[in-house]
Amino acid sequence: EAQVTQNPRYLITVTGKKLTVTCSQNMNHEYMSWYRQDPGLGLRQIYYSMNVEVTDKGDVPEGYKVSRKEKRNFPLILESPSPNQTSLYFCASSWTVTNEKLFFGSGTQLSVL
């Protein structure tokens, strides 16, 4: 089944403890992206990747890192999480960035205490 898989689904952590949210797609998509969703602010893009080894900042990249060493994986790294990073995170992928629908993962609800 074609899908974007995120893990974990829920995560509670403490300020400053490094964490990684994994994202994997099995559709051989070139484009992958991370979004965060907050009440009243909608979906905001954190980072995106046009292809392997190519990553770019989105609208809200501060406090996050990503890597794209393989086509299928696009992990989101929080080196030193803070409470303002408490949010619902989505990974998405598509063949290309233009004229292609995005496939979304089920989301990761992160709480930073």
Partner 1 sequence: SQELEQSPQSLIVQEGKNLTINCTSSKTLYGLYWYKQKYGEGLIFLMMLQKGGEEKSHEKITAKLDEKKQQSSLHITASQPSHAGIYLCGALTFLSGNTPLVFGKGTRLSVIA
* Residue whose tokens read 């990249």: 61
User: Which residues are bridge partners to 90 per DSSP?
Assistant: 35
By CB under 8 A, residue 41 contacts partner 1: yes
By CB under 8 A, residue 56 contacts partner 1: yes
DSSP letter (8 states) at residue 73 = B
Nearer to partner 1, 49 or 85 (CB): 49
The verdict on whether omega for the bond into residue 8 sits within 30 degrees of 0, i.e. cis, is yes
Site residues for partner 1 per CB under 8 A: 31, 33, 35, 40-43, 45, 48, 50, 56, 58-59, 88, 90, 92, 97-99, 101-107, 109
